[in-house]
């Protein structure tokens, strides 16, 4: 059984994790928002690509829940833009379509969850990615090339 306390929704400084939900369906935004707020997260919502871009520009979240199909441009553009602008920002695709799971364009996504009225899997993905991206050992460091003892050349 997955049990999480509200304190798990906060980072090491005690600040509530903020999640941006990008979905063009108001009922989905409201339902998921209510559930995540009840879990102790801060939530912002965007109905379209331009609104999502505004949040990313002025108030970047700790995690993005992203629908693939939005009015106007598709969610894939937000996935690519957010990963280019904030490489460590976790993005979870939250869509009704299972058929895009293996799509090469999804390679930048950190997770892929099929929409359902049961949000257990989504909540687990969120908790996992927020914890994973907060851990200091998940931050990639650039290492100098390794020198060979015998020849003195890099590998």
The pLDDT confidence band at residue 75, using thresholds 50, 70 and 90, is confident
Is residue 1 scored above 60 in pLDDT? no
Terminus-to-terminus CA distance in the chain, angstroms?
A: 46
- Residue pointed to by tokens 């996992």: 128
pLDDT tens for 78-137 read 999 999 999 999 999 998 887 677 776 777 899 999 999 999 999 999 999 998 766 444
pLDDT of residue 146: 37
In a domain, 152, yes or no: no
In a domain, 47, yes or no: yes
In a domain, 155, yes or no: no
Q: In this structure, what token pair is assigned to residue 70?
A: 């939005």
- The domain of 52 spans 6-136
Return the closest-CA partner of residue 82 out of 62, 103, 102, 104: 62
**CATH code at 100?**
3.40.50.2300
Number of domains within the chain: 1
The pLDDT confidence band at residue 12, using thresholds 50, 70 and 90, is very low
């Amino acid at each position: 059984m997955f049990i999480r306390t509200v304190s798990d929704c906060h980072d090491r400084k005690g600040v509530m994790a903020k999640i941006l939900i990008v979905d063009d369906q108001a009922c989905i935004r409201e339902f998921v928002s209510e559930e995540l707020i009840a879990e102790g997260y801060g939530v912002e919502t965007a109905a379209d690509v331009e609104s999502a871009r505004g949040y990313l520009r002025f108030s970047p979240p700790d995690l993005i829940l992203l629908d693939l199909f939005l009015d106007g441009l598709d969610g894939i553009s937000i996935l690519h833009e957010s990963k280019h602008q904030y490489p460590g920002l976790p993005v979870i695709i939250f869509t009704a379509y299972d058929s895009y799971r293996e799509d090469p364009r999804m390679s930048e996504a950190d997770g892929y969850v099929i929409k359902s009225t049961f949000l257990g899997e989504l909540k687990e993905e969120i908790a996992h990615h927020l914890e994973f991206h907060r851990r200091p050992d998940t931050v990639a460091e650039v290492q100098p090339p390794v020198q060979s003892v015998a020849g003195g050349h890099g590998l």
